[in-house]
Copies of this chain bind each other. A is one copy, B any other.
Amino acid sequence: MSAQLPGGFLSAGLHCGIKSNKEKNDLSLFVSEVPAVVAGVFTQNKVCGAPVVVSRERVTQSAARGVVINSGNANACTGSRGLEDAQWMTAQVASQLNCEPQQVLVCSTGIIGHFLPKPVIEKGVPQVVAQLASTEAALEQAARGMMTTDTFPKLLSRQIEIGGKQVTVTGVAKGAAMIAPNMATMLAVIMTDLTLNEQETDMMLRHAVDRSFNCISVDGHTSTSDTVLLFANGKSGATIVTEDEQDLFQLTLNEVARELSTAIIRDAEGADHFVTVDVTGLRTRDEAFLIAKEISESALVKTAIAGADPNWGRIVSAAGYAKVDFDEKSVSLFLNGTKIYEAGMPVEYDESALSNEIRNHRDVHIELQMNLGDEHVRFWTSDLTQEYVRLNSEYTT
């Protein structure tokens, strides 16, 4: 994955000392040279990190300057002191950028229940500000500064033309799901140099997140710190005038969000398979979503995929407990394009050929078709392997 920053955005990332391994970045900064509109989507968990509380109060606004992110410490379950620390961190950055703390957002990811190591952050902030640059290398360093158990940085760009001007949409993300000991978080920052107002930014981000970050699951465990931010600084000079332009930008934003979120699933630790779940033919998108989520989070479906088993019974029964009203006669199921269940009944097919195909390919496609309507949802998940369990149980606090 490679990417470049949109016009007027700078970034940097470095090791300041939160992580013990000096070769791993733990502090990142994304900055707009001019005040930008920012919107955010945050975890629904009632137990949320202090940075979520602070950043949630600071969206949606039109004078944002950027976001500071640390990894190695989630600053979650840290009470009122954690809240003060998160506010303090934005103030440190604001004083370097000559802006108000309110204009700076904050994200933290890493171990839960420990206070931020303020001295190393205090020393690191001026250094990371000094390294701000618009280069691809600076963007990759920033992407690395967000990583916890990720095995690769996740970043990409898309260019489109709006009103004769080139517009860039660039996103970075971290997350191998909440799978590592005490680690908790999916974070993403998306930036564009398009001109957007606050309402558009918020609305278009929510639309994209509903079709990307809200459609992935490794273990169904909602983290305490999930955050997706969209900054729009208008530097390209382009503005949305026509509906076609709006559609083009929304689709591009959706694509960036989808690529980032599926990169998280591809990086899910311990996983051998990348599974795309399509649920089609429902009366509402919500119904399709509920079914896709239950299939994607069923331990029995996920172990079946790990074992290369085209076990339609587990998939169909997971759909059955999704609290959506249907008759099993409405259901057909395809696995990697092979029909294995039709109108509520098993179908003859070559089981060993299909099993071999699953075993020999990383990508698996589950398609559950109903005939109740036209709504559909695509979801992404990983398989459940012994390695996942080993990674998540061989640790002692």
Contacts and interface: CB of A to CB of B under 8 A. Distances in A.
A373 to B, nearest CB: 16
Interface of A: 44-48, 76-79, 112-113, 178-179, 181-182, 184, 219-224, 298-300, 303-304, 306-314, 316-321, 324-329, 331, 341, 344-346, 351-352, 355, 384-386, 388-390, 392-397
Given A351-B397, A392-B299, A77 B345 contact: yes
B182 A313 contact: yes
The oligomer's copy count stands at 2
Give the residue among A181, A326, A329 with the most B Cβ atoms within 10 A: A181
A112 B392 contact: no
A317 B224 CA distance: 6
29 contacts: A45-B317, A46-B319, A46-B324, A46-B326, A47-B328, A47-B331, A77-B345, A77-B346, A79-B329, A113-B312, A178-B317, A181-B311, A182-B311, A184-B313, A219-B298, A221-B321, A222-B320, A222-B321, A223-B317, A224-B313, A299-B384, A299-B392, A307-B393, A307-B396, A309-B393, A309-B395, A309-B397, A385-B393, A386-B390
B181 A309 contact: yes
| 10 A-B pairs with least C-beta separation | A307-B393, A47-B320, A303-B392, A112-B313, A222-B321, A45-B320, A306-B393, A386-B386, A303-B393, A46-B320
Given A179-B300, A306-B389, A389-B389, A320 B224 contact: yes
